[in-house]
Structure 1
Amino acid sequence: MKRDTKMPQRQRSKRSAQAQQKGSIRIISGQWRGRKLPVLSAQGLRPTTDSTKETLFNWLMHDVYDANCLDLFAGSGGLGFEALSRGAASVTMVEQYPPGAAQLRENAQQLKLSSEQLEVVQGDALRYLSACQRAFNIIFLDPPFEQNLLQPALDAIFSAGLLATDGLIYIEAEKALDFDASHYPLALKKQKSTHQVTYSLWSSRIG
């Protein structure tokens, strides 16, 4: 017997409302210091914590100003908006979830960002990389956990030459992930771990 998969109207409405519930992220420093921006609650969305973000941008203190950045698995946009607050020249955010991308655009309007400062691309991250024709000074890679997206993303970045000379890549991944960086022209600059997450900063290695 075929199972009836239809969901009662009240239950569908409840799930729809839950999917659209909003939380918030906080910009830690820079011109929008302390500003909170709304984010949609969505399955798998895991914004970088304030403590991790603070550590990361201490690492990037001398590099983020005037940098062109790529926030590949943007999610809440917390990394990209923090970079812009601290003086990045431009950020491209790539987000597959359409309502999430729409929220990023709304937040850009709240901050009165121009299209030159922030570009929001709604679509698949790996497809974006395959078509991209510009290099970035800083690339933020914080893919959804347990979906095996990190190495394909790195493969695409280096195949297309998307990391600028002396560029930096930030990687945030589940602690259990067995990541072998020896396949890539990268040198480890900084690394830390929490109970569940390992986050690290890498520089392009010439030769």
Structure 2
Amino acid sequence: MRIITGEYGGRRLKAVPGNNTRPTTDKVKESIFNIIGPYFNGGNCLDLFAGSGGLAIEAVSRGMDSAVLIDRDPLAIKTIKENISVTKELDKFEIYRNDANRAIDLLRGKKKFDLLFLDPPYAKQEIEKQIEKIVDSDLLNDEAIIICEVDKRTQLNENIGAAKVFRKEVYGASQIVMYEYAKEMGK
């Protein structure tokens, strides 16, 4: 695994030891960023199931101002810290060991996000409920992008609150479902 491009491009990333996480492959990561825009002009990123931290680190490398990374696995948190250290810009990242649903509650009123990654363990995913909770908690800026990685057989609703699907792609056993949040739609 590596950081594909941007400020930290080419730097190597470690995977979380063991079989508890399923890292997004470089091919899928590159495809995601080619679709949502190869570079960003600032903004905040939230990765609720960060694993190795690769997606959030890539987003900051490509121009996001900051990223909040959440994972409940202690090995994942250790790996995220090691991977963030290769950026030499630790101040751009906040790392929390926590359950995703509790993290949403804790973030309420503290920060708003422009990019959200949801890549939970396939067997335990509650993506639709979590997106609703994030929207209800007012954690997204208007036109925020939500990237969900799910099993290719999973069917997510086209609209979840004020979030609407704009693209779906299948890569092997995984499916990427992309939503855009439109505050006006939720009113």
TM-score above 0.5: yes
The Cα RMSD (Å) is: 1.6
Give the alignment's TM-score, normalised by structure 2. Answer: 0.90
1:125 aligns with 2:105: no
Give the conservation status (yes or no) of the 8 Å contact 2:17–2:75: no
Instruction: Answer with 1 or 2: which has the greater Rg.
Output: 1
Within a 5 Å distance, the mapping from 1:115-154 to structure 2 comes to 115=91, 117-132=92-107, 133=109, 134-154=111-131
Which of 19, 29, 35 does residue 5 from structure 2 map onto? 29
What is the DSSP-based 3-state SS (H/G/I as helix, E as strand, rest coil) of the residue aligned with 1:131? Answer: helix
Work out the CA distance in 1 between the residues paired with 2:31 and 2:156.
Answer: 21
Work out the CA distance in 2 between the residues paired with 1:89 and 1:148.
Answer: 28
Work out the CA distance in 2 between the residues paired with 1:142 and 1:76.
Answer: 12
Question: Structure 1's 149 and 197: CA in aligned 2 closer, same or farther, altered over 3 A?
Answer: same
Between Structure 1 and Structure 2, how many residues are aligned? 182
Partner of 2:73: 97
Kindly state the Cα deviation for residue 178 of structure 1 after the two structures are TM-superposed.
2.5
Kindly state the Cα deviation for residue 62 of structure 1 after the two structures are TM-superposed.
6.1
Which of 20, 23, 47 does residue 71 from structure 1 map onto? 47
Kindly state the Cα deviation for residue 176 of structure 1 after the two structures are TM-superposed.
1.4
What is the DSSP-based 3-state SS (H/G/I as helix, E as strand, rest coil) of the residue aligned with 2:132? Answer: helix
**How big is each residue's C-alpha offset from its partner over 1:59-84, in whole Å with a ceiling of 9 and x where there is no partner?**
22266331210011000111011111
Partner of 1:110: 86
Partner of 1:186: 163
Kindly state the Cα deviation for residue 55 of structure 1 after the two structures are TM-superposed.
1.1
Query: Share of identical aligned residues, percent?
Result: 30
What is the DSSP-based 3-state SS (H/G/I as helix, E as strand, rest coil) of the residue aligned with 2:19? Answer: coil
